[in-house]
Amino acid sequence: MNFPPMMTEGSSRVLKLASFLPAHGWDPVVIGNHFLQGERIDDFPFDILYAGIGQEREELEKEHLFRFLHGLAEKKPAFGAKKSGGVQIPQGREGEALWLSNAKSLAGELLKENPDIEMIYAQSPPFAPQQLALELSLAYNLPVMFDCTGFFPDQKQEMSVFLSGQYVTVPSRAVKEHYLRKYQGKIGHDDVSILPNGYDSGTCRIMGAGTGEDSSMLCVFHIEGAQGKGIKNFYFALKAFLDSQEAARERFSCAFIGPGAIDVDRHLKKYGIEGLKRLSSPCSRAEELDLCLRSDMYCLVLGKEEWYEYLVPERLYDCMAMQRAVAGIVPECQAKQVLEEAGCRTVLTDHTPRMIDFLMDSFDLWRTGQLLAVAPERLEQYDFRQVTQVFLREIVARFPSA
């Protein structure tokens, strides 16, 4: 659902897949959600229809803009609190219902005007695109590719996809094994295919390390699946690191990306580090990629919320391809395994002293010019050009009429 200008989890994957198809004789059409009016959007080799609403950036307050761009539900005001006066954008279940209603109309018109459409691709979460795909499949007798990249909050929704008899893809072997165990005897090994994530070398130029600011270390913290108490250790460690030496306050700067960045202001204030040298959060995919490219280190901060065991953010692969120094403050999970296989440093989220040492060591390595980028030979398995070849083979095998 979520598409330009900000590419969140899943939409980057769709972008890469859809951009690949025209060269092989397919003309994809993407049905996105909300969009910012008047914003420059990358020139994609496919059409995008928007089933959400258009909004001017200037009309949105900072928090509303962040939630709008990341597809997050609006926070409910505390009892007795006044509304902030910002424009209320339908998100969450309300947003899904709006998208589903409008997307159903758009898709219906598209299918009538283009009777040669041969298949439907639908990704979750959220579930609305897959619900639409199920309805369109029945109405127009079209095969569906269900791409399940995250957690289903509703068991009935999950079952409607995995027991539909349609083609299902997942981003990793660990996710596939999870569903095979869960639906043992109901789905077989050939019913679920692995379509891994990776980087697009055409989007993220492979560059050498050392393009950051010489006078200050720039670290991009990418916060995912980490809310409330699940993130407090990280901010405590960040404060301890900044207090540890005067040079850290003067020569360390950072930026925060990912959905967890919505709570950064509150946490920085709580721990007395709101004076931290900090760049503003980006408002588009291009801005975020540029920020990561200019950084000295990208650090994934992953909490233990929904689906954390299997979540490996797409931006992680992009940053490894940029040959930045890449690291992770993560629990025991698949993301930790990916980081360590790529030769990146990791530290567990539930061990505050080690987190403090990790931040100190990172700063010292930067000062001495020893922050190491991911070695190119470790990146080959994550080149998305290989993934798209798998994607094409699966289409030909599953949909012989294509």
Q: Give the pLDDT score at 242.
A: 94
Task: Return d(Cα 148, Cα 194) in angstroms, integer.
Answer: 10
Is residue 211 very low, low, confident or very high in pLDDT (cuts 50, 70, 90)?
Answer: very low
Task: Return d(Cα 319, Cα 325) in angstroms, integer.
Answer: 8
| For range 378-382, the mean pLDDT | 86
Written as six digits, the tokens of 290 are 């540029």
Task: Look up tokens 């409910």; give the residue.
Answer: 76
Q: Give the pLDDT score at 80.
A: 44
CA distances from residue 309 to 147, 225, 376 in whole angstroms, order as listed: 18, 10, 26
Indicate whether 245 pLDDT > 70. yes
Structural domains in the chain plus CATH codes: 11-73+87-198+384-398 (3.40.50.2000), 217-378 (3.40.50.2000)
Task: Return d(Cα 384, Cα 370) in angstroms, integer.
Answer: 29
Q: Give the pLDDT score at 33.
A: 84
CA distances from residue 217 to 255, 318, 355 in whole angstroms, order as listed: 11, 20, 18
Pair type for strands 297-302 and 217-224: parallel
pLDDT, one tens digit per residue, over 137-172 is 999 999 999 999 988 889 999 999 999 999 899 999
Is residue 35 very low, low, confident or very high in pLDDT (cuts 50, 70, 90)?
Answer: confident
| For range 198-212, the mean pLDDT | 60
| For range 22-48, the mean pLDDT | 80
Q: Give the pLDDT score at 123.
A: 92
Please tell me whether the overall predicted TM-score, pTM, comes out greater than 0.75 for this model.
yes
The CB-side HSE value for 40 (13 A sphere, CA atoms) comes to 4
| For range 338-344, the mean pLDDT | 95
Pair type for strands 35-36 and 54-55: parallel
Q: Give the pLDDT score at 95.
A: 78
pLDDT, one tens digit per residue, over 103-113 is 999 999 999 99
Indicate whether 389 pLDDT > 90. no
Q: Give the pLDDT score at 200.
A: 82
Q: Give the pLDDT score at 350.
A: 87
Indicate whether 174 pLDDT > 80. yes
